[in-house]
Amino acid sequence: MTPRISDLATLRARHPEAIAEAAARRTRRPLIGDSGRLMIVAADHPARGALAVGDRQLAMANRLDLLERLVLALSRPGVDGVLATADILDDLLLLGALEGKVVMGSMNRGGLAGAAFEMDDRFTGHRPEDIARLRFDAGKLLLRIDYSDPGSLATLEATARAVDAMAERELPVFVEPFLSRRVDGRVRNDLGAEAVIRSVAIASGLGGTSAYTWLKLPVTDDPDAMARVCEASTLPTVLLGGDIGTTVQDQEVAYEKWRKALRLPTVQGLVVGRSLLYPADGDVAAAVDTAVGLL
Domain 5-294 fold is TIM Barrel (3.20.20)
- Please give the Cα distance from 77 to 70 (Å, whole number): 14
Give the 3-state secondary structure percentages of the chain, helix then strand then coil, rounded to 5.
40, 20, 40
Burial 79-90 (b: 16+ CB within 10 A, else e): bbbbbbbbebbb
CA 163 to chain centre: 16
- Please give the Cα distance from 188 to 221 (Å, whole number): 13
- Please give the Cα distance from 18 to 8 (Å, whole number): 11
- What is the pLDDT at residue 84? 98
Q: Which residue type, as a one-letter code, is found at position 263?
A: R
- What is the pLDDT at residue 106? 98
H helix intervals, the chain: 8-14, 17-25, 63-75, 86-94, 128-133, 152-168, 193-204, 226-230, 248-261, 274-277, 284-294
Contact yes or no for 214/238 (Cβ under 8 A): yes
- Please give the Cα distance from 254 to 38 (Å, whole number): 18
CA distance to 145, 201, 225, 235, per residue, from 198 (Å): 11, 5, 13, 14
- What is the pLDDT at residue 155? 92
- Contacts of residue 18, defined as CB under 8 A and 6 or more positions apart, other chains included, come to 11, 12, 94
Q: How many CB atoms lie within 10 A of CB 147?
A: 10
- Please give the Cα distance from 100 to 98 (Å, whole number): 6
Question: Mind listing the pLDDT tens digit of every residue in the chain (295 residues)?
Answer: 678 999 999 999 999 999 999 999 999 999 998 888 999 999 999 999 999 988 889 999 999 999 999 999 999 999 999 999 999 999 999 999 999 999 999 999 999 999 999 988 999 999 999 999 999 999 999 999 999 988 899 999 999 999 999 999 999 999 999 999 999 989 999 999 999 999 999 999 999 999 999 999 999 878 789 999 999 999 999 999 876 666 778 888 888 999 999 999 999 999 999 999 999 889 999 999 999 999 9
- Please give the Cα distance from 44 to 125 (Å, whole number): 10
In this structure, what is the dihedral angle of CA atoms 73, 78, 84, 89, given to the nearest 10 degrees?
70
CA distance to 12, 51, 69, 84, per residue, from 48 (Å): 23, 8, 19, 11
Contact yes or no for 258/294 (Cβ under 8 A): yes
Q: How many CB atoms lie within 10 A of CB 145?
A: 21
What crossing angle do the helices spanning 63-75 and 86-94 adopt, rounded to 10°?
60
- What is the pLDDT at residue 248? 79
Q: Which residue type, as a one-letter code, is found at position 258?
A: W
- HSE-up (13 A, CA, CB side) for residue 37: 20
Per-domain residue ranges of the chain: 5-294
